[in-house]
Chain A
Amino acid sequence: MLQPFVQDGKIDRVALTAELRRFLDLLLGSARFELAYEICLRDSVAAEDAVESPEIEVVFRGRDQDVLLERNAELLQALEYIALRWLRLDPHFYDHVRFDSGGYRALRIEELKLSARVAAERVRETRQPFRFNPMSSRERRIIHLVLKEQPGVRTASEGVGEQRQVIVYPAGKN
């Protein structure tokens, strides 16, 4: 796939940010969402315990912030996905760009980390697999990363499309 904003395996931040603005301005102008956005750039080298390290983050603020975050941030995630497709990024680069509002993503990551640890504990105690609710690839990745170093458990993803879910198994059991 042609990737106009990737050169030598790296994102061309200036060009990508300009195109992202074009998308966001058109979106906010058409839909009349009462939202302003800020694009934050940061080095992708993040703290060791960070499971995500987006180098480009779009943060929305404004009266319609709640609309973005309803139903597990359905609109925020839809906007992010369409933006990623608009930018013609390869899925490999998807976690380099993140949309956020009101600190939702950081909170969600903390929630996922905690759920992962609780699930691992339960699986170690009961020796029975634990099935998470279906979640996006990005969220499944977080669960896998958090649990990869945990003793006594292993993780796998099963199911198709929106029904794909992480399952935590006792180590050594299929």
Chain B
Amino acid sequence: MKELVEAIAKALVDNPDQVVVRAVEGEQVTVLELRVHPSDLGKVIGRQGRTAKSIRTILGAAGMKLKKRLTLEILE
């Protein structure tokens, strides 16, 4: 799922080369840390947080399939 989050973020931002996703693996949880260029933060969060919420919804459903809790942290 790291690749998917990275691809989504790269598609949304103006500085795709500045997108970094790091997966921190726990036993039952994987935290996906997303870093983008500061000027692109709004693009990955979206109006009223809708983009971030949609990505989290996708991760939530994918986590059910992969039997692992997937959490997205957007780092500022």
Which residue numbers of A lie inside 8 Å of B, CB to CB? 23, 26-27, 30-33, 64, 67, 74-75, 77-79, 81-82, 85-86, 88, 160-162
Contacts and interface: CB of A to CB of B under 8 A. Distances in A.
A74 B1 CA distance: 19
B61 A67 contact: yes
B57 A75 contact: yes
B23 to A, nearest CB: 12
A81 B54 contact: yes
A86 B47 CA distance: 15
A26 to B, nearest CB: 6
B27 interface: no
A31 B62 contact: yes
A86 B51 CA distance: 11
B51 A32 contact: no
B25 to A, nearest CB: 16
Contacts of B50: 81, 161-162
